């Protein structure tokens, strides 16, 4: 924002201190989780707390990997997040194309409907969904959860793809038509390649959302093998032999849930920011 | 195929009245309807079932019969509901305002030309990728009354311990704090993008006219960010009003009922007491409040899309 290259020393000191303060506020809780996960149960309860683990150990991780059925649960989470994000992106991509490029009765009502349902709290719908799932046998299945998250991701996916399509000038469609492209060619040879990055953005956003969701996953799964990671966080196993608060386990559990999606953030940071902006700023 | 093209090119579609409705629009509906149907099945259908349930006295022991508005009448004699309503309002407003103000401040800071800017943005983004349930676990480690590091630090510094999670007032503070920590990332990103897209000429002109950094911010940048700010307030308000996960993870609505939002109350009535009718009535109120915020937002989007 400032044009001048020379900032007074005092301003610099203030700005950097504020930045440091912000980063400590944001990062310290995560740092604390990480170091606590590497402590022994006894050190995790020690007074005063140690900022760096004295004897780093992976015991808490070993315990959780076993008791959480981590491989199965990780696979569940991964499969559900992948397929729901993929499905929602494809369905919403189709809808976004239709609404953005074609003219038909109810066009803007469909758009309005998709966005309006964003305001519907999950808590309001989950009771009936639970009852229906129980009746039709979708309770406690991966398919059931995938469908719930797919539906949940549709509006955001549509906003993201819609805003990408909106930025493709309509002249391109016309030019393609004049050059003799059928609508099919226009869609797959012209539009799709240009809009593809927004599909990636949408997929990544929805994957993270599905990975992080708790309420639906908690209600709609019953057996431990069908659980997903966030639900596991809520069901901390008891170590039994150590009669101490299990801070190390809580922390290690957190690391196990967070770690698999950190690469997505590192590799896809730019795309994710694009997606956040597209999802939020469609209306302004 | 030829008819489908008419829907593709709006200029030609009007002239083809002879084509049947189906022949003309099948392609468009084929593209749009799958998403609409799935969304409809998972939102509107259950919403109407919740509405119906709220008019019955169905519970796990009772197959349920129509009781009209009795559940709603009961709600207003239920002190827990009234308290929960009040707390939801306080929480939604305070969390939304704090997040927005803090997010704006962080965005302004990140917008300065400072070293390590991109690393800083990465770190600020971290809480955004964190599950709400995980956020509550992360903060539990800091906030535990006896051995949490916050109280340890306070003790060492010579202050008395704060009952972060066991005192009604402090539990409410903690719950709000965790929400702010989790959501401020999103707010900062939106504001940062807003700040970066401000017209540079206007800001430079103000600087040439001798406006200091504070005047420039409050008199130029902030008014230009008005629509962004409104959008953030609406979207965050919509999110906070239905908060369940962080609070359930951190305090489960306790101590007592002090941090029990409407969503938590509905959850307890429906899924732990199995009073489907009564729980659904709570849900209908939750829906009403979320809808008031949400439909205003989607109305703006709808207008923008026309």
In a 3-state reduction of DSSP, which class is residue B66? strand
Binned at pLDDT 50, 70 and 90, residue B298 comes out as low
The domain of A141 spans 69-235
Distance CA B291, CA B161 (A): 41
CA angle A226, A227, A232 (to 5 degrees): 155
- Going by pLDDT thresholds of 50, 70 and 90, the confidence category of residue A268 is confident
Please indicate, yes or no, whether residues A132 and A152 belong to a single structural domain of this protein.
yes
For residue A170, the chain B residue with the least C-alpha distance is B9
Buried b (16+ CB within 10 A) or exposed e, A231-240: bbbbebeebe
Token readout for B73 is 């009448």
Q: What are the chain A neighbours of B114 within 8 Å (beta carbons)?
A: 15-16, 19
- At residue B152, the pLDDT reads 81
Query: Chain A window 1-20: which residues touch B at a Cβ cutoff of 8 Å?
Result: 1-3, 15-16, 18-19
Residues 6 or more apart in contact with residue B176 via CB below 8 angstroms: B91, B94, B95, B98
| Contact of A137 with A74, CB cutoff 8 Å | no
Asked if pLDDT for residue B263 goes beyond 90, the answer is yes
Whether A29 has its CB under 8 Å from any CB of chain B: the answer is yes
Of A110, A258, A261, the CB nearest to B36: A110
Specify whether A55 is located in the same domain as A187: no
ipTM of the complex: 0.89
| Torsion angles phi and psi, residue B59, rounded to 5 | -150, -175
Task: In whole angstroms, give the CA distance from residue A203 to residue A183.
Answer: 25
Q: H/E/C letters for each residue in A137-170?
A: CCCCCHHHHHHHHHHHHHHHHHHHHHHHHHCCCH
For residue A204, tell me if it sits in a domain: yes
Q: Label residue A40 exposed, middle or buried (CB < 10 Å: 0-12, 13-18, 19+).
A: middle
Same domain membership, residue A57 and residue A89: no
Q: What is the pLDDT of residues B149-197, one digit of tens each?
A: 888 888 888 888 888 888 999 999 999 999 999 999 999 999 998 898 8
The answer to whether residue A273 sits within a structural domain is no
Q: What is the pTM of this model?
A: 0.89
Same domain, A154 and A220: yes
| pLDDT confidence tier of residue A78, bands split at 50, 70 and 90 | very high
Co-location of A151 and A117 in the same domain: yes
Q: Within this chain, do residues A246 and A229 fall inside the same structural domain, yes or no?
A: no
The reply to whether A199 falls in a domain is yes
Contact B244, A123 (CB under 8 A): yes
- On chain A, the residues whose CB falls within 8 A of the CB of B35 are 91-92, 94-95, 114, 154, 158
Judge contact between B255 and B167, C-beta under 8 A: yes
Which of A3, A103, A214 has its CB closest to that of B131? Answer: A214
pLDDT digits (tens, 9 = 90+) for B74-126: 898 988 999 999 999 999 999 999 999 999 999 999 998 888 888 899 999 99
- A40 & A78 share domain: no
Phi-psi region of B242 (alpha: psi -120 to 50; beta: other; left: phi over 0): alpha
**Count of structural domains, chain A:** 2
Residue B276 to residue A127, Cβ atoms within 8 A? yes
Same domain? For A157 and A195 the reply is yes
- For residue B151, the model assigns a pLDDT of 83
Assigned domain for A15 exists: yes
The residue in chain B having the minimum alpha-carbon distance to the alpha carbon of residue A247 is B141
Dist CA A69 CA A71 (whole Å): 6
- The answer to whether residue A99 sits within a structural domain is yes
Instruction: Decide if B53 and A47 are in contact by the 8 Å CB cutoff.
Output: no
Is residue B47 helix, strand or coil? helix
Across chain B, where does the E strand assignment appear?
A: none
Same domain, A45 and A74: no
CB contact under 8 A, B138 and A117: no
pLDDT, mean of residues B56-82: 88
**How far A187 CA lies from chain B's nearest CA (Å)?**
10
For residue B6, what pLDDT is reported?
A: 45
CATH number at residue A230: 1.10.3720.10
Chain A CB contacts of B295 under 8 Å are 116, 119
User: Residue B28 and residue A104: Cβ atoms within 8 Å?
Assistant: yes
A87, A165: one domain:
yes
Identify the CA nearest to B154 among candidates A49, A278, A212: A49
What domains are defined for chain B?
Answer: 2-53 (no CATH), 78-305 (1.10.3720.10)
The answer to whether residues A241 and A231 belong to one domain is no
Minimal Cβ distance to B42: which of A105, A123, A148: A148
């Amino acid at each position: 924002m400032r044009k001048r290259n020379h900032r007074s020393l005092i301003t610099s000191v203030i700005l950097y201190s504020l930045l440091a303060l912000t980063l400590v506020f944001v990062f310290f809780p995560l740092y604390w989780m990480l170091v606590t996960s590497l402590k022994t149960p006894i050190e995790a309860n020690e007074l005063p707390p140690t900022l760096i683990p004295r004897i780093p150990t992976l015991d808490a991780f070993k315990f959780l990997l076993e008791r959480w059925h981590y491989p199965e649960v990780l696979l569940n989470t991964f499969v559900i997040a992948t397929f729901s994000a993929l499905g929602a992106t494809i369905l919403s991509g189709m809808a976004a194309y239709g609404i953005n490029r074609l003219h038909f009765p109810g066009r803007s009502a469909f758009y309005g409907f998709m966005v309006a349902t964003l305001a519907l709290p999950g808590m309001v719908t989950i009771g009936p969904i639970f009852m229906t799932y129980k009746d039709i046998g979708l309770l406690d299945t991966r398919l059931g959860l995938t469908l719930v998250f797919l539906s949940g991701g549709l509006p955001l996916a549509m906003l993201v793809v819609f805003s990408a399509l909106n930025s493709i000038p309509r002249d391109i469609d016309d030019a393609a038509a004049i050059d003799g492209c059928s609508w099919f060619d226009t869609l797959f040879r012209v539009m799709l390649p240009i809009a593809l990055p927004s599909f990636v953005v949408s997929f990544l956003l929805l994957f993270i959302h599905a990975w992080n969701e708790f309420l639906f996953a908690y209600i709609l799964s019953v057996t431990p093998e069908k659980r997903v990671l966030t639900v596991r966080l809520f069901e901390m196993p008891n170590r039994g032999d150590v009669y101490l608060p299990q801070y190390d386990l809580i922390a290690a559990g957190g690391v196990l849930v967070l770690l698999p999606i950190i690469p997505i953030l590192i590799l896809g940071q730019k795309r994710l920011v694009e997606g956040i902006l597209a999802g939020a700023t469609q209306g302004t | 195929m030829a008819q489908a093209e008419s829907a593709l090119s709006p200029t030609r579609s009007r002239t083809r009245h002879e084509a049947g409705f189906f022949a003309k629009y099948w392609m468009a509906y084929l593209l749009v309807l799958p998403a609409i149907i799935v969304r409809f099945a998972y939102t509107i259908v259950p919403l109407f079932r919740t509405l119906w349930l709220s008019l019955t006295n169905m519970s796990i022991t009772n197959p349920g019969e129509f009781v009209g508005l009795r559940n709603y009448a009961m709600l207003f004699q239920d002190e827990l509901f009234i308290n929960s309503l009040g707390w939801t309002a306080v929480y939604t407003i305070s969390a939304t305002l704090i997040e927005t103000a803090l997010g704006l401040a962080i965005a302004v800071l990140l917008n300065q030309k400072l070293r390590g800017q991109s690393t800083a943005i990465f770190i600020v983004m971290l809480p955004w990728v964190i599950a709400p349930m995980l956020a509550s676990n992360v903060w539990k480690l800091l906030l535990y009354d006896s051995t949490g590091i916050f109280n340890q630090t306070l003790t060492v510094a010579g202050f008395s311990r704060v009952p972060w999670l066991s005192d009604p007032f402090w539990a409410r503070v903690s719950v709000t704090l965790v929400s702010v920590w989790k959501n401020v990332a999103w707010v900062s990103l939106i504001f940062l993008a807003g700040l970066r897209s401000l017209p540079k000429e206007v800001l430079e002109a103000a600087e040439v006219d001798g406006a200091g950094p504070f005047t420039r911010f409050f008199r130029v940048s902030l008014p230009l960010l008005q629509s962004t700010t409104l959008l953030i307030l609406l979207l965050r308000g919509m999110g906070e009003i239905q908060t369940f996960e962080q609070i359930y993870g951190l305090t489960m609505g306790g101590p007592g009922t002090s941090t029990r939002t409407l969503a938590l109350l509905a959850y307890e009535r429906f899924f732990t007491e199995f009073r489907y009718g009564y729980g659904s009535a709570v849900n209908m109120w939750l829906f009403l409040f979320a809808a008031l915020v949400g439909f205003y937002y989607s109305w703006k989007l709808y207008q923008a899309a026309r």
